[in-house]
């Protein structure tokens, strides 16, 4: 088991008490419960706070506190859990293309995902893509549309050795990111996370996204706009009016306590509006 990992504490955090054998069913169950219990959020980069990626720090924040995190934090924690369970898992990296026009040049590899080798074949697991969290692992097979309880996805060949992950929206297929199968190491993620969380032009420094996906609905807070959806059908949305309401939404909808208080987050978002 990776040093510093409290597997029982993690399972209590996500509400999982099922089998611990390294099977597809186990992976799918953990994946679904993780995104329902540990929300995606970028409060630390938004507030100029450091993002720590060592396992003790990840466990303290995502398991021990009422916090979530972004892709490097979420997927590094999941990787440690899967390693401890005996899965064959490899860390990968991706270039984000979400909402990017086709003519925009490719950016750096600022997203982390996992490849998991199973008897059924290779799968990708990703509990850290904010704005379109995956609620299930996906088979790494080109041109195959895959339905999850909360959305529809497909993986296609973008070029030789490069895969594209897309999701279906009411407007059509939307490209999420491009990735290959080159294994990454901790230093790669440290560099990517540092760039993502400190570069003044990066989205996470200026805007807020908080998201969780439960079996019932997808909840997304983008800056001060809260949206609840069921398989892309809008259930309700509203704009957060003040810091008190923001604190209540973070607490009741996402189970998050903001560092430095909701007032600091609301002030930061008001400055950027």
- Domains in the chain, please, with CATH? 7-189 (3.30.2140.20), 205-272 (3.30.1120.150)
Contact yes or no for 264/47 (Cβ under 8 A): yes
Q: Is 111 a catalytic residue?
A: yes
Q: Is 31 a catalytic residue?
A: no
Q: Is 34 a catalytic residue?
A: no
Q: Which of 17, 71, 188, 251 is catalytic?
A: 71
* The pLDDT value given to residue 3: 67
* The pLDDT value given to residue 91: 98
Count Cβ atoms below 10 Å from residue 156 Cβ, excluding itself.
14
CA distances from 164 to 38, 63, 120 (A): 26, 31, 21
Q: Which residues pair with 236 in a beta bridge?
A: 228
Kindly report the pTM of this predicted structure.
Answer: 0.96
Q: Which secondary structure element, helix H or strand E, spans residue 166, and what is its range?
A: strand 162-169
* The pLDDT value given to residue 1: 58
> pLDDT of the chain along its 273 residues, tens only?
566 799 999 999 999 999 999 999 999 999 999 999 999 999 999 999 999 999 999 999 999 999 999 999 999 999 999 999 999 999 999 999 988 888 889 989 999 999 999 999 999 999 999 989 999 999 998 888 999 999 999 999 888 889 999 999 988 999 999 999 999 999 999 999 999 999 988 889 999 999 999 999 999 999 999 999 998 888 899 999 999 999 999 999 999 999 989 999 999 998 876
Where do runs of H (alpha helix) occur along 199-242?
203-206
Q: Which of 111, 188, 232, 242 is catalytic?
A: 111
Q: Which of 31, 34, 44, 126 is catalytic?
A: 126
Pairing mode, strands 152-159 and 121-125 = unpaired
Count Cβ atoms below 10 Å from residue 247 Cβ, excluding itself.
19
């Amino acid at each position: 088991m990776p040093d510093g990992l409290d597997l029982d504490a993690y399972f209590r955090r996500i509400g999982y008490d099922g089998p611990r054998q390294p099977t597809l069913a186990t992976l799918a169950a953990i994946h679904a419960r993780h995104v329902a219990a540990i929300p995606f959020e970028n409060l630390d980069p938004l507030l100029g706070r450091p993002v720590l990626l060592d396992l003790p720090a990840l466990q303290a924040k995502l398991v021990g506190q009422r916090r979530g995190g972004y892709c490097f934090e979420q997927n590094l924690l999941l990787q440690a859990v899967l390693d401890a369970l005996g899965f064959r898992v490899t860390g990968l990296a991706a270039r984000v293309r979400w909402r990017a026009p086709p003519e925009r040049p490719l950016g750096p590899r600022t997203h982390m995902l996992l490849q998991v080798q199973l008897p059924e074949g290779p799968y990708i697991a990703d509990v850290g893509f904010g704005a379109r969290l995956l609620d299930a692992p996906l088979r790494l097979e080109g041109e195959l549309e895959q339905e999850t309880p909360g959305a529809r996805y497909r993986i296609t060949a973008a070029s030789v050795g490069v895969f594209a992950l897309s999701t279906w929206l009411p407007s059509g297929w939307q490209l999420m990111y491009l990735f290959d199968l080159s294994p990454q190491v901790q230093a790669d993620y440290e560099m990517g996370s540092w760039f993502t969380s400190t570069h003044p032009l990066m989205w996470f420094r200026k805007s807020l996204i908080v998201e969780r996906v439960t079996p019932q609905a997808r909840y997304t807070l983008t800056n001060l706009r809260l949206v609840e959806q069921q398989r892309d059908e809008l259930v309700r949305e509203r704009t957060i009016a003040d810091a008190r309401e923001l604190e209540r939404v973070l607490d009741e909808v996402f189970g998050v306590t903001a560092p430095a208080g909701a007032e600091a987050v609301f002030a930061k978002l008001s400055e950027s509006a």
